[in-house]
Amino acid sequence: MNLKGRNFITLKDYTPEEIQYLLDLSADLKAKKKQGITGSSLKGKNIALIFEKPSTRTRCAFVVAAVDEGAHPEYLGKDDIQLGHKESVEDTARVLGRMFDGIEFRGFKHKTVEALAQYAGVPVWNGLTEDYHPTQILADLLTIKEHFGYLKGLKFVYAGDGRNNMANSLMIGMSKMGVHFTILAPECLWPNKELTELCQGYADLSGSTITLTEDSEKVKDADIIYTDVWCSMGEEEKAAERVALLKPYQVNKELMNKTGKDTTIFMHCLPAVKGNEVTEEVFESGVSVVFDEAENRMHTIKAVMVATLGE
């Protein structure tokens, strides 16, 4: 499959077959790395890493993945370049596109990464925006596939803020790949209607379902329970209100037991606020695969760069 030259902005742009190809490539690159084999498909390439928002996993994953494949990554923090301040995003994109072979962007407005993709003339990868976090979803899908051996037909429950970038992106990824998807959240924090309807279309094609509910009994038979922080970066002033609203949706032993299965796994994209969205007990338990997910960020990001830019 040829994804050369493609941007990676949201999984809406990728077919289930293309997503599967990236997952297969990730698994292959991971297996090789475990054997001490790294590649040279990005040899001689220079990669710009633009970070408006700080990051542990995304930054480290892009750096290590780039170096493993022979590329030079250059970190550009918010104080290092003029992105959208003294220089328009469009102009910055055209400058960086002349100097770099690929550009990663992690920041606030989704339209920033779209403008970079439109004007740079080189592949642009979304490391997170307020709307979407597609590299995380690839890591999540790879982790689930490693754990269960398959994706199609599994039951996935996301508990928490159902309108944030993680809920949006998980709904896209799971519905495309045939995973039954439930958002467990107060109705005021359900995803927007337009995106839900779009994903319902993906689910109809893949044979999966989408459920939005406030009823925690709906976690029965879930194979995966997933959560994220109740307050995203930049929303700190809403913290008290969010905690009050989402406390009933905390992932704790009681919620995990409601699945009625002892094979249910717990997932979180990290960083976690233990005691809020998840208890320490569940986070540290044997069913938690959060650090597999964190590692898989690197293997899946490597696959995206190799597929879209590699030789």
Binding-site positions for L-ornithine read 165, 228, 232-233
Task: Name the binding residues for carbamoyl phosphate.
Answer: 55-58, 82, 106, 133-136, 269-270, 297
Q: Which residues are catalytic?
A: 106, 133, 136, 228, 269, 297
Distances (CA, A) of 17 to 22, 77, 193, 208: 9, 35, 26, 16
Calculate the CA 266 to chain-centre distance: 16
Scan for tokens 């997503």, then name that residue: 19
Reduce the DSSP state of residue 279 to 3 states and report it: coil
- Report helix, strand or coil for 91: helix
The pair of three-digit structure tokens given for residue 303, joined into one six-digit string: 């696959």
Q: Which residues are annotated as a binding site?
A: 55-58, 82, 106, 133-136, 165, 228, 232-233, 269-270, 297
Bridge-partner residues for 103, per DSSP? 48, 124
Question: Cβ(209)–Cβ(175) under 8 Å?
Answer: no
Task: Give, for 59, the enclosing helix (H) or strand (E).
Answer: helix 57-68
Question: How many whole angstroms separate alpha carbon 29 and alpha carbon 42?
Answer: 13
Q: For residue 248, which amino acid is it?
A: P
